[in-house]
Copies of this chain bind each other. A is one copy, B any other.
């Protein structure tokens, strides 16, 4: 397979994976582009490569920086900003886990806790309390596990799991 073809396929695949992960398609595509780039890219480079507008490029690069997936890099004697993505996939996964925990799991836990003090003791209310309590417990355990993961060193987790299997 030709490089250009492979590159396009990768960017496309990463983009569509993004959409099912609450990350916009273009954002994921920019990330893909930076992942496989051998050098930092400017906004212009990204616009050119993905055929998108300046505003679009700018906003999605900014979002990637918010997620902690991309960093700004300044070149000596150059005014223009360049961007790089970390290439360590383990770090990438941890960063995504961290952000999603903050953006999704934590707000949900907050709501679930509030729901525990619903009034009444009808069948409906009992069921409601039970289900939300179970979800809350589960979410709490998920949070602990994620914390473990987020603070772990590369392979710590898999090494552990592979031992257990035996």
Assess whether B118 is in contact with A6, with CB atoms less than 8 Å apart. yes
Assess whether B158 is in contact with A118, with CB atoms less than 8 Å apart. no
A window 139-165: CB within 8 A of B: 141, 144-145, 148, 157-158, 160-161, 164-165
A window 37-55: CB within 8 A of B: 37-38
Which residues from B are CB-within-8-Å of A119?
A: 1-3
A21-B22, A138-B89 known; A13+B108 contact, CB < 8 A: yes
A1-B114, A89-B138 known; A36+B6 contact, CB < 8 A: no
Q: How far is the CB of A138 from chain B (nearest CB, A)?
A: 4
Interface majority SS (helix, strand, loop, mixed), chain A: helix
Across the interface, name the chain B residue whose C-beta is closest to A123.
B38
User: How many chain copies?
Assistant: 2
Instruction: Assign chain A's interface to a size class.
Output: 35 or more
Assess whether B2 is in contact with A104, with CB atoms less than 8 Å apart. no
- Say whether A77 faces chain B, with CB atoms less than 8 Å apart: no
Q: How far is the CB of A96 from chain B (nearest CB, A)?
A: 12
A134-B89, A164-B160 known; A2+B118 contact, CB < 8 A: yes
